[in-house]
Amino acid sequence: MAFKPFSAVRRGFSWLWSALDATRRTFVNLLFLLFIILLAWMIFGGSGVKPLGANTALVLELKGDLVEQYQASLRETVLDSVGGDSKRTVLLRDVMLVLDKAAKDPNISTVVLLLDEMDGGGLAMLREFGAGVDRVKAAGKKVVAWSGNYDQKRYLVASHASEVYMHPMGMVLIEGFGRHKNYYRDALDKLGVTVNLMKVGTYKSFAEPYIANGPSDAAREADTYLFNALWTGYTGEVEKNRKLNSGAVARFVDSLPQQMEAAGGSFAKVALANKLVDGLKTRDEIRAMLIKRGVYDDDTKSFRQVGFYDYLSRHPQKPFGSAVGVIVAAGNITEGLGGPGVVGGLTTANLIRQAREDDEIKAVVLRVDSPGGSAYGSELIRRELELTRAAGKPVVVSMGSLAASGGYWISMAADEVIADPYTITGSIGVFAILPTAEKVRDKLGIHTDGVTTTWLADAYNPLRPLDPRFGQVVQSSINHVYAEFTSKAAAARKTTPAKIDEVGQGRVWTGAQAKERGLVDRLGSYEDALNSAARRARLGQGYRVDYVERPVSRVERFLQLMGASASQAVTIQVKLGLLEEAMPAGPVAEVARDMAFLSELTRERKPFAAVTHCLCGLP
């Protein structure tokens, strides 16, 4: 047989390539195994597995916004943490889990709240936090709160503590509720932009900034009623917690200029004189006080303590067994897919369907924190909840800080709707905005012309005046959507559309006011909603809570199976990136945001969208 040199070379090269490929795969697999071992050690190693000693203080140093749901994916979280300055977020459910475990833990004697860097959180969320603090106190344990500065939200949480301390250079700033909006009618006229509004609802004031130079009488009436109720509730809770006379907080605010003058400009002295705090201490003085009260730890050279994320990692959730499935609907509602911080109609409907088809999930809780958005996206979610009930699984809605307009729409297919007294809800109304810029066209000398087969082919062209026939079509559609809204709400609340219309018309209510008007079943907490769902599903004590969320990567799933939350996936404490729009830097950014929203309404694939949004978040 003749020798074939090329064949031998080919076989040799093939063997060499196979060897290199096998070496590469082995090396990559070893690296991945090393990565898994490292992560496991980071989560469970060291202090993560060391038993807690007696008289340990749980230190909750919460940094960033308190949220119902992470505003970024784990991948974004990891990338953001590399930058070093990204703002963190803290899950409310993690805080509640830690507080409830601490209340029952015999080794935890004290809970320390360091609130300097805690931001955000709606009123209902802050009340949930405060209720968790109350349960710790009811278990006979001290809760000490400290901050350099207390804004209105931080102080509401701190007021629940056994003792409240503040830095001598700090302040307690309780401002009240209310806001001044920007109105753009004259500005848009100067630019040559006309905003065509179609709506149903006397109190549906979402679009007023684009068509007026100030609030309508109806909007002013509704806002006054809402803000006064929230202020009364806030001051009443603070006064109860701090054992102050009724009206003490309002008197503190009213007399602040005179008190500041008398105190030489010291906010801290004024706060102490008004019994809003129990003492003025620096952070090192708080540390010395806790060392004296507790047990000195030679390793840390401080009082014996355990941190928030460390303590959280010690209490992984049950991975299997009968459960209450929780779907969080936090953010604006869109029609299609949604990521963290956005309620996608299709995405959330798919999650509800997933929970319905999961044999281990026996009941569903929808946790709502949304101002609404797309009517169509809202209906996709409501329908899946309706099908879930029809399949025999109980559905309970837990309203968080905001469940208005579309946020109320998605709450209408439940066995029970539970709201916090501070929840902002209602806003049963619909609108559509169609901006046109024909005056801009004229100023710039732009001409538009062409041929269409029907009048509808180019009925809404932003560079031409709105065709009145198209306006009529849109208004008819908006009327129909409002009729759907009120009829579905009437069926859910076992009343008539006329009765719903009386409390609808875009009017916004607190949870307590909504309860008086039959829009919710009862007032209560998120925990009440979980217990109600478990009871309806005949689950016993110690039931599992399963958060039904977007699909996760293999690494995330591995970490979750080991009991780690997303916040623990990167060195236990990671920094999460927030949407830049959430915290405008100043008036210019605020105007840019408002204009961006107006533009956003025209970017849909459809010629117009029926919008159920309340624009009713608190500053």
User: Which residues are catalytic, by number?
Assistant: 204, 405
Report the alpha-carbon distance of residue 412 to residue 298 in Å, rounded.
57
* 280 CB-near residues (< 8 Å, 6+ apart): 165, 166, 167, 168, 170, 268, 269, 272
What single string gives the DSSP state of each residue in 197-247?
EEEE-TT--TTHHHH-SS--HHHHHHHHHHHHHHHHHHHHHHHHHHTPPTT
Residue 29 CA, distance from chain mean position: 39
591 CB-contact burial (10 Å; exposed 0-12 / middle 13-18 / buried 19+): middle
Element housing 103 (H / E):
helix 92-104
User: Which residue in the block uniquely carries the two structure tokens 């930058």?
Assistant: 83
CB 486, CB 501: distance < 8 Å: yes
Q: Sign of dihedral through CA atoms 292, 294, 298, 302?
A: negative
Cβ contact 194:210 at 8 Å = no
CA atoms within 13 A on the CB side of 455: 7
* 393 touches 363 (CB < 8 A): yes
Task: At 506, give phi and psi (nearest 5°).
Answer: 80, 5
Please state, in angstroms and rounded to a whole number, the distance separating the CA atoms of residues 396 and 182: 38
Backbone phi and psi for residue 68, each to the nearest 5 degrees, phi listed first: -80, -30
